[in-house]
Structure 1
Amino acid sequence: MTARGLIIGAPRSGSGKTTITIGLLRALARRGLTLRGAKSGPDYIDPGFHAAATGTPGLNLDSWAMHPELLRSLAAEAAHSADVLIIESAMGLFDGIPSDSGRSGAAADLARDFGIPVLLVLDVSGQSQTAAVVASGFAGFDPRVRIAGVVLNRVGSERHVRLAGEAIEKRGIRVVGAVPRDEAMQLPERHLGLVQAEEHAGISDHIDRLADAIENAIDLDAVLEIAAPVAIPSGSDGAALSPPGQRIAIARDAAFTFVYPHVAAHWRAAGAELVPFSPLADEAPAQDCDVCWLPGGYPELHAGKIASAARFKTGIADFARTRPVHGECGGYMVLGKALEDADGVTHEMLGLLGHSTSFAKRKMNLGYRRATLAHDCVLGGKGEVVRGHEFHYARVTQAGNDEPLASIADGQGREIGPSGGRRGHVSGSFFHAIARDETAR
């Protein structure tokens, strides 16, 4: 089975891509088709919504962070496991960073390199015929990126649809639907983006309502018609992150959630077993595991509960005496001495590393990162380079005296400096690892 593919793109964030993608995935799945959803770039929240809408695993496809061989391997696997593959663009369709050809991180790289057509979502609130200027600009910007259709979003009336739609179609671009303004379709957000799918009570019912709206507003037969067969050359998973151990104790609850689907899938495929535990339920990592992983998430929203979880704190300290413990972003914050929440209340954390962090003194850190490892650790050997991402508002208020875990540079190679900490078997940083950098070898 080889999927037909489509990229959902837009001029910018906030255009309604995620809502339309989720509703479209569920609406097409109702037809008995097998759907796979993917997200371009490093967003780890939207794949959860794609999975909830389809019942199949979510996926990230990141042309900057993933070596082209790994990118092809992941995309080909998704295409061969579904009837339809829908890739949701991050930010605007062409938004990435200056980089080598095809490795900007933009969804346009995937459209160009895999020959996948684009369904452009245009938020036309506050405009009508001007939407045709935007659509035609996208259609002519790069002849290798094919704009196969347009969905008008947040339309106000039939007249609004007619004015915008006719102007676009006069430019030779097909309009396949128009979605009305409806605040009930919006998904709640917090500081790192959407509130996660698993946190929604009745998420499936909400997705069904989105699908109902999409079925009424978009010509699904036209969507399937413009989707093109996906022909992706076979790749290799050689740049994937190796499992850090055979049995991996992994924190999993409302405070620890940010695990890239492709990372966990590769670990399992390589024979590792992921053994979940919940710090918020005061659970410790299983003592028969050989490594412990604290993912990112929202510990700042649960800092008091984590601080009072005595069994968790004792258990992970015992674990760290003899085996590796690693924390990413939120997990790194919990490994430190203290965490100040948004209300200015300081909570005692694990103290396995010497730093303290604050969410009250907020500073956004966002961007691709190349981390050169300063020591052998769960991410790789000393001197190896790992590509990934940072996105957090917390800041380090006390640096502590631990050895840095890595030196990091931004996506264009500009040095940022030391990152994270390492003490004994314990390591961590704000850096989310996505894949090994095979180009650095």
Structure 2
Amino acid sequence: MSARAIVVGAPRSGSGKTSVTIGLLRALARRGLRVRGAKSGPDYIDPGFHEAATGLPGVNLDSWAMAPALLNGLARQAAADADFIVLESAMGLFDGIPGVSGRSGSAADLAALYGIPTLLVLDVSGQSTTVAAVAKGFATYRTDVAIAGVVLNRLGSERHRKLCADAVEALGLPVVGAIQRDPSLTMPERHLGLVQAGEHDDLMAFIDRMADMVERSLDLDAVIELAKPLRPAEGDFGLALPPPGQRIALAQDRAFTFLYPHVVRRWRDAGAEIMPFSPLADDAPAAGCDICWLPGGYPELHAGRLAAAGNFRAGMEAFAQAKPVHGECGGFMVLGQALEDADGIVHPMLGLLGHSTSFARRRMNLGYRQARLAVDCPLGPAGSLIRGHEFHYARVTDPGDDAPLADLADGQGMPLGPSGGRRGHVSGTFFHAIARGE
């Protein structure tokens, strides 16, 4: 039996979607339901909170980066072993990129494709009855996206709640939640979004406070009733990223955390063995592994410790002499010659590639990416198209002289030029791979 599902959407980031989603996931789990979180688009931080709240790994469902068959395969897999799925929107509900209909990357694409109703979270601070105009706009903007209920967030008083709720319900939209303003429930953020789940010293207590808030402020029975069965069409994993080796040494600690859950799950489902190690603990990749993978994360916050990790450095150098090493975003930075932190201190990195990067002289790079691989590498054979995402503030200060890894384009196909680097068995790029393209 397939899970029931609901989308949690909002007009923009910062409206309270993640707090409502985490609290809802935990509150439903408290009722004995097997609950799973999903995230539209390429966000790799929120699935960590979803897993902590439910005990089940989260999943990214991305209508731009994933071909329809892969999207359906992942959605069916997520629904097969769950009672309820809460699908959290990235940014605003309708936000995506122009292009092929149904493949913008927005949560609205998924709501329409699977017939999932949306719970709309509205930050009503600084307004009252005007909230009804916002809700009406959402309800009528796309006829194939159903706004099933509204949660009013950051209310200032009971009178404020009544003004907002009466105006929205006059439209025929049920208000199923009303959350009072409470600064203690604000989730901490840094330059790439929320502080990661693993960095909260008292994570489970924080999640339980979110659940307490939801149980206090939302009509859970009404929310459950609004949800609809998630029944995707048949899919397959033909365009999933295949495991780059049978035994994969995967860097995992506070400096290396950004790897999409669906990628790791597919590697395991295909028979690969994941061998985690911690560069911050001065671990080296296991010599018996076939490949070493350095995912993204926050190496700029730990550059001094990484520079001083002699065993890690020696182990990486030895590994790279005979076997593939690949780095994404933060991992790419660590593979380079040097990393300048936010204070302007330059730290030597692994030197396995020739570039240097800086977080002090930063510039935001954000958006979907299409990469045509120039050479064979752990992402695939030369000529392959990989779809993914780029989100970082660091910039390359010295490009070095390595051969480029790929020719890059944005989500709409506009050329961005050569990207990343390749030297011997080592490759890396700022680009996070999500799936093979078509």
TM-score range, shorter chain: over 0.9
- Distance in 2 between the 1:242 and 1:221 partners? 41
Q: Which residue of structure 2 lines up, in the alignment, with residue 435 of structure 1?
A: 435
Shift of 1:397: 0.2
- Distance in 1 between the 2:271 and 2:77 partners? 18
Q: Which residue of structure 1 lines up, in the alignment, with residue 136 of structure 2?
A: 136
- Distance in 2 between the 1:163 and 1:234 partners? 46
- Distance in 2 between the 1:187 and 1:369 partners? 29
The one-letter code of the counterpart of 1:418 is P
Is 1:397 aligned to residue 397 of structure 2?
Answer: yes
Q: Which residue of structure 2 lines up, in the alignment, with residue 269 of structure 1?
A: 269
Is 1:414 aligned to residue 414 of structure 2?
Answer: yes
Shift of 1:295: 0.4
- Distance in 1 between the 2:327 and 2:273 partners? 18
Q: Which residue of structure 1 lines up, in the alignment, with residue 303 of structure 2?
A: 303
Is 1:238 aligned to residue 245 of structure 2?
Answer: no
The one-letter code of the counterpart of 1:372 is R
Moved over 2 A (4+): none
Shift of 1:424: 0.4
- Distance in 2 between the 1:261 and 1:316 partners? 25
Is 1:116 aligned to residue 116 of structure 2?
Answer: yes
The one-letter code of the counterpart of 2:429 is S
Shift of 1:166: 0.6
Q: Which residue of structure 2 lines up, in the alignment, with residue 189 of structure 1?
A: 189
- Distance in 2 between the 1:57 and 1:373 partners? 30
Is 1:387 aligned to residue 387 of structure 2?
Answer: yes
Q: Which residue of structure 2 lines up, in the alignment, with residue 69 of structure 1?
A: 69
Shift of 1:2: 1.2
Task: Give the fraction of aligned pairs with identical amino acids, expressed as a percent.
Answer: 68
- Distance in 2 between the 1:7 and 1:145 partners? 10
Q: Which residue of structure 2 lines up, in the alignment, with residue 213 of structure 1?
A: 213
Instruction: Give secondary structure in 2 for the equivalent of 1:296.
Output: coil
**1:237-256 to 2 correspondences below 5 Å:** 237-256=237-256
**1:42-53 to 2 correspondences below 5 Å:** 42-53=42-53
The one-letter code of the counterpart of 1:243 is P
Shift of 1:92: 0.3
Note the alpha carbon deviations across 1:16-41, whole angstroms, 9 max, x for none. 00001000110111110010100100
Shift of 1:202: 1.5
- Distance in 2 between the 1:180 and 1:330 partners? 38
Alignment: residue pair count:
438
Instruction: Give secondary structure in 1 for the equivalent of 2:257.
Output: strand
- Distance in 1 between the 2:247 and 2:38 partners? 28
- Distance in 1 between the 2:211 and 2:86 partners? 15
The one-letter code of the counterpart of 1:128 is S
The one-letter code of the counterpart of 2:274 is L
Shift of 1:76: 1.0
The one-letter code of the counterpart of 1:364 is M
- Distance in 1 between the 2:6 and 2:49 partners? 17
Instruction: Give secondary structure in 1 for the equivalent of 2:427.
Output: strand
The one-letter code of the counterpart of 2:115 is G
The one-letter code of the counterpart of 1:416 is L
Q: TM-score, normalised by structure 1?
A: 0.99
The one-letter code of the counterpart of 1:248 is I
Q: Which residue of structure 1 lines up, in the alignment, with residue 318 of structure 2?
A: 318
Calculate the aligned-residue CA RMSD, in Å. 0.5
Q: Which residue of structure 2 lines up, in the alignment, with residue 22 of structure 1?
A: 22
Runs of 5+ unmatched residues, structure 2: none
The one-letter code of the counterpart of 2:22 is I
Is 1:347 aligned to residue 350 of structure 2?
Answer: no
Q: TM-score, normalised by structure 2?
A: 0.99
**1:163-182 to 2 correspondences below 5 Å:** 163-182=163-182
